[in-house]
Amino acid sequence: MAAGTLTPTDLLVRWSRRHLWFCVAFIGVVGALALAMLAFPGGALAARAGLLFGLLPVVIAISVGALRSAPGGAGGAAMRAVLDDELRQASLNRAYRNGVACVLLMQPALALALALGMAELANPVAVMACATSAGAALVVLLSALYYDR
């Protein structure tokens, strides 16, 4: 489909997918930095991660500004129609299911890893919680992007 023949709905879908990819990158980076800070709090990577977390409010403010600049408005009728689409809702339900499965599979695996050798970490239970939440969020977002084509 040529760029000149895109409908407003197509533009909103593209805009939505672009923001989902941004969320994947953001959660991936923040999750990795949080894991580094929790697993090795005295390391050089943890010190740099702490500095980067200081920029978190700026990134959030930029993200909110980008959401407000949605084509047709983030709360407009066209955006509501895109979000309420039945196929998109079915895709999101499958993505949520994948996220729950990820949590259910990661918890025992990380508990086993904790019992077998991760105990020398500074905060092993916090590492387990951070890895599970970041992993599940990434699985949900990536599944939503995969199913909602």
Give the percent of the chain with pLDDT over 90. Answer: 28
Say which residue, 83 or 115, is predicted with more confidence: 115
CA atoms within 13 A on the CB side of 65: 6
pTM (two decimals): 0.80
The structural domain count of the chain equals: 1
Q: Model confidence over 59-104: pLDDT tens digits?
A: 888 877 877 776 655 567 777 777 777 888 898 999 999 999 999 9
Residue 81 lies in a domain: yes
CA–CA distance, 129 with 64 (Å, rounded to integer): 27
Specify burial of residue 140 (Cβ count, 10 A radius: 0-12, 13-18, 19+).
buried
Residue 1 covered by a domain: no
pLDDT in tens, 13-33: 888 888 889 889 989 988 988
DSSP secondary structure, 104-141, as one string: HHHHHHHHHHHHHTGGGSSSHHHHHHHHHHHHHHHHHH
Range of the domain at 60: 8-147
Mean pLDDT confidence for 93-119: 89
Question: Residue 31 domain-assigned?
Answer: yes
**∠ Cα 23 26 28 (to 5°):** 105
| 132 closest CA partner among 38, 41, 67, 62 | 38
